[in-house]
Amino acid sequence: MLGQVIASGAAMGAIYALVALGYVFVWNTMGIINFAAGEFITFSAYIFVGTLITSLALPFPFALALIAILMAAMGAAFSRLVFSRLQRQRALVAIIATVGFGIFLKEMAHIIYGPEPLMYDGPFGMRTLDVAGILISYQQLLILAVVTLIMAAQYLVFRYTMLGKVMRAVAMDRETAALMGIPVERVLAGTFAYSSVLAALAGLLLAPLFFVTVDMGTMVGLKGFVAMIIGGFGSIPGAILGGLLLGILENIASFTISSAYKDAIAFALLLVFLAFLPQGILPEKVVDRA
């Protein structure tokens, strides 16, 4: 039974990891936490299920590509129009602005798609697979596969491509990156677009596990934030580890204690970490000697 609990916890944790990575990228490049991240998840789940899958009846792979493009465009536009301006504001102003944008997205979803929750069975329906006595749904397998693929691709891009190196350079020292002729504003918009794609993926992967409602992304967005903190603020490997750990621990706890406390457990874990390991499990290393 424990295997079962861990497997489904890991699938949920993989989603938290996606969301946590979104926070990390935006934080590292712009120094802002995007508190609208949860609503990006909600909004993209609505577009995906309500429009692309239901109204347009697109096949899953097309819908997937389209939602990624749409959310990337929305992210880039939001970054250029709003986020780049927030950079010059005080932190509190920036925080309130992202929270406000989240509420706006939530209300937009409500206006466009109405109050009824949307249902979506996922590309594989409700089938499950029996792996050595552990029942795991195809949807959970899909989540784990997609997230693993994204992480691997992201690692390769960051490590080996000009784009990846440029993104890291911009995150580290914008002014100097600009001096090399790097179009910093575009890199920032691209980074934000990528974090929006991560949110979109989280939304469409989650949709079959929950109903699509206006509140669907809010808790996931917060838990992604918790995952980033317990992993190590601003750390990429930390976000992945933190997400998985949070997903598994909350599932174990809700199984052994009570599922009624599931959400509370995530925040209890946050308090424990803030008290005893505030820098997280895999904090960002700071290297600078000369």
Residue ranges that bind other proteins, judged by CB under 8 A: 162, 165-166, 168-169, 172-173, 175-183, 285, 287-290
- CA dist 7 and 252 (Å) reads 10
Structure tokens at 173: 């020292």
- State the nearest-atom distance from the C-beta of 225 to other proteins, in Å: 23
Residue with tokens 């996931």: 220
Contact (CB, 8 A) for 228 and 283: no
Amino acid type, 141? L
89 vs 176 by CB, closer to other proteins: 176
33 vs 178 by CB, closer to other proteins: 178
168 vs 262 by CB, closer to other proteins: 168
179 vs 274 by CB, closer to other proteins: 179
Beta bridge partners of 137: 128
- State the nearest-atom distance from the C-beta of 126 to other proteins, in Å: 45
170 vs 246 by CB, closer to other proteins: 170
- State the nearest-atom distance from the C-beta of 182 to other proteins, in Å: 5
Residue with tokens 């949920």: 12
- State the nearest-atom distance from the C-beta of 170 to other proteins, in Å: 9
- State the nearest-atom distance from the C-beta of 273 to other proteins, in Å: 24
Contact (CB, 8 A) for 39 and 201: no
CA distances from 238 to 71, 90, 164, 167, 226 (A): 25, 27, 18, 18, 11
